[in-house]
Amino acid sequence: MKQENLSPARFYALLMIGVGLIAIGLTLFMWLRAIAPTPGGDFSTTPVEVDFDAPELPLEDLDGKRVSLWEYKGSVVLVNLWATWCPPCKEEMPALQSFYESHRAEGFVLIGVDQEETREVVLPFVEEYGLTFPIWLDEDYLAQREFKTNSLPSSFVIDRGGRVRLMWVGAVSEEFLEKHVTKIIKE
């Protein structure tokens, strides 16, 4: 097999093509970064309308008390599956807290279900973010199995009759919650 040597002109032409492709890649990267959602903004999450019975979801709260979704029939409940290590979960916490404070007097409950972490890990996070809505611990991923998801954050809205009506995966803004969840609260 005969090996060809590259002429200097051909070498420099290939080098320039490579540099050009790298420049195009960097430009595309910078453009995509510029249009990416920023914290507090609209995260472009799309809710899906669903209709199935809410699971019982027997877990423990931060005080070690046994709790269940069935205790909340008659309320509109947003179940948010999250973890302290999850960046989008952290980004949406202020919006969730604000929406909860604005609507809890209307029979709205937000339940944050932490996935696979202990009370000792979750409690400092709850205090840092000033969360006042109920936080449940799910060290065995029961919620992910019951709601058939493996993504964090994942959220599910349960109507007053105990039916799951909306679900989405990904972080949300307060505007998103106002647009989609308030309709179910007002029913």
CATH topology of domain 48-186: Glutaredoxin (3.40.30)
pLDDT in tens, the chain (187 residues): 555 677 888 888 788 887 778 878 766 666 655 544 444 445 558 899 999 999 999 999 999 999 999 999 999 999 999 999 999 999 999 999 999 999 999 999 999 999 999 999 999 999 999 999 999 999 999 999 999 999 999 999 999 999 999 999 999 999 999 999 999 999 9
pLDDT of residue 34: 53
pLDDT of residue 41: 46
Does residue 43 contact residue 37 with C-beta atoms inside 8 Å? yes
Phi and psi of 100, rounded to 5°?
Answer: -60, -50
pTM of this structure: 0.77
C-alpha–C-alpha distance, residues 136 and 49, integer Å: 25
pLDDT of residue 10: 83
Q: Give the strand pairing for 135-138 and 59-61.
A: antiparallel
Q: Which sign, positive or negative, has the C-alpha torsion 183, 49, 110, 65? A: positive
Enumerate the domain spans of the chain: 1-36, 48-186
